[in-house]
Copies of this chain bind each other. A is one copy, B any other.
Amino acid sequence: MEGFSFSTEITVRFAETDAQGIAHNASYLVWYEVARIAYLARFRGGYRTIQEDGYEALTIESHVRYLKPVFFDDRVTVSARVADLRGARFRFEYALARGDELVADGWTQHAFVDRETLRPTRFPAWLAGEIAAAEEAG
């Protein structure tokens, strides 16, 4: 997907479909999350390390445009990038494609927080640096 340097693949599970015969709208937020985790896994142990360091990333906003229905067993490429990273906040953007066809896109906004208090805390400089480098390398 143009403009994205990272992507991962999911296969639509039967459990993710609903009685309309297509993937349920809430499943996309789970796929976003799978892509975020895979995106971060490239940096020093990924999200688990973030947690072990005493942080969590809360989702504070989400948006999805469902452009084409996706079906059981469809293979979907989820592209993701970090679009903005300031202080305790950062934003992920996503594009979901089935083959060449864009089937959904959207974004999520996150707050970096202390794991115990759930209070906002500055994004770790090392991780911000690695993400910035990876996005530039694109």
Cross-chain contact B19 with A26 (CB below 8 angstroms): no
A56-64, A76-84, A129-137: which lies at the B interface? A56-64
Q: Which of A19, A33, A48 has the most CB of B within 10 A?
A: A19
Copies of the polypeptide in the assembly = 4
Distance of A50 Cα from B27 Cα, bound (Å): 23
Cross-chain contact B13 with A34 (CB below 8 angstroms): yes
Cross-chain contact B25 with A59 (CB below 8 angstroms): yes
Cross-chain contact B73 with A20 (CB below 8 angstroms): no
Does A47 belong to the interface (CB within 8 Å)?
Answer: yes
Does A18 belong to the interface (CB within 8 Å)?
Answer: yes
Interface bits A11-50 vs B (CB < 8 Å: 1, else 0): 0011101111110111101100110010000000011100
